[in-house]
Amino acid sequence: METRIFHITEQNMDEAALAVAGEILQKGGLVAFPTETVYGLGGDALNPDSARRIYEAKGRPSDNPLIVHICRIEDMYPIVREVTPRALAIAEAFWPGPLTLILEKSDRVPYETTGGLDTVAVRMPSHPVAAELIRCGGGYIAAPSANLSGKPSPTLAKYVVQDMNGRIDAVIDGGEVGIGLESTIIDLTVEPPQILRPGYITREMLEQVLGQVDVDAAILEGGGDLVPKAPGMKYRHYAPQGDLIILSGEESKVVDYINKAVPEDVRGGHKVGIICTDETAGLFGDAVIKAVGTRKDEESIARRLYSILREFDDEQVTRIYSEDFESDGLGQAIMNRLLKAAGHRIIYV
């Protein structure tokens, strides 16, 4: 299959190209597109064949449910059993935006899309290209992140092309995404509501609308017997090819540890990468050093994390050390993804 590339940005909303892409979706084809979080791999959420094609293109297990993307709040009504008052309150507070709601599904949503579950994940993205594509595609677009299963989610179209070229009908290149980590997922079918995946919309923000909100304990601990409640969170994900080890502790001890470990690894035949911050980038010896962002601005770290993991793959790095990050606010989402990429290997120094 030849994969077509469209260039569509907020500044250049090519309506003709969007109509073509929308038609591909309506006919059961697959189109990757930018959202404010990461690139998504879109297919018609109400067409079981499209869902099957998505799983095939990603190489993803079909018990891993897809998020249904909409472009108007009222479009939630036909696909869920009931829009509860708190679902509406939270949608009005955070949509369009990087938040996914889990609700009981209606019969309109095929089990192929929900991975056999009676619940459905719904999100209304704020990226204008995403919103317009959803509208042109019929209003209900299932879209997992547009990476091959097990790879970091793509934040640039070139990574989508790397993974999906020849496997899908089209890619919309809309430039670099703004947030860089997938949406926050909150399960509203339980009491109190529970965060299944941390993201840009933090627990503190959600609690202002909903009162008490719990966080799935597997999100930060994991690695042991705890099974995450979002099926997709149980897979080893976001994984770079090199083995990744997180160092936690006082900054000077972390730096010392890494600076001692690197020469030994190099002698052992490794090519070593370091994920550090602008604050520490000058403190390390000879290695592939990547400053992910500044600790003064966690958003800068979120935006770059996945592309750094991909760059280490491109440069065939075989061992990676990373500093650790805060465990609340947006830092919780950053640490959650980093821990998964590391298979939960963390050393306390």
Contacts with ligand TXA by CB under 6 A lie at: 35, 37-38, 40, 64-67, 100, 102, 114, 117, 119-121, 123, 125, 143-145, 182-183, 185, 196, 230-233
Residue 185 contact among Mg ion, ligand TXA, none, beta carbon within 5 to 8 Å by kind: ligand TXA
Residue 102 contact among ligand TXA, Mg ion, none, beta carbon within 5 to 8 Å by kind: ligand TXA
- What SS3 state is found at 251? helix
- What SS3 state is found at 107? coil
Q: What are the CA-CA distances from residue 145 to residues 10, 38, 154, 333 (Å)?
A: 20, 7, 7, 16
CB of 158 to Mg ion, least distance (A): 18
CB of 1 to ligand TXA, least distance (A): 21
Question: Is 184 near Mg ion (CB under 5 A)?
Answer: no
Q: For Mg ion, give the closer residue by CB, 17 or 239.
A: 239
Place of tokens 């083995």: 243
Q: For ligand TXA, give the closer residue by CB, 79 or 262.
A: 79
Question: Is 119 near Mg ion (CB under 5 A)?
Answer: no
Residue 152 contact among ligand TXA, Mg ion, none, beta carbon within 5 to 8 Å by kind: none
Max Cα separation, the chain? 61
Q: For ligand TXA, give the closer residue by CB, 3 or 126.
A: 126
Using the rule CB under 5 A, which residue among 145, 149, 184, 202 binds Mg ion? Answer: 145
DSSP string, 211-233: S--EE-GGGTS-SSSPPPSSGGG
63 touches 115 (CB < 8 A) = yes
The rounded distance, in Å, linking the Cα atoms of 336 and 346 is 12
Residue 233 contact among Mg ion, ligand TXA, none, beta carbon within 5 to 8 Å by kind: ligand TXA
Q: DSSP class of residue 283?
A: G
Residue 247 contact among ligand TXA, Mg ion, none, beta carbon within 5 to 8 Å by kind: none
Q: What tokens appear for 164 in the block?
A: 């999906």
Q: Hey, what amino acid is at 61? A: P
Residue 37 contact among Mg ion, ligand TXA, none, beta carbon within 5 to 8 Å by kind: ligand TXA
Interacting residues toward Mg ion by CB under 5 A:
145
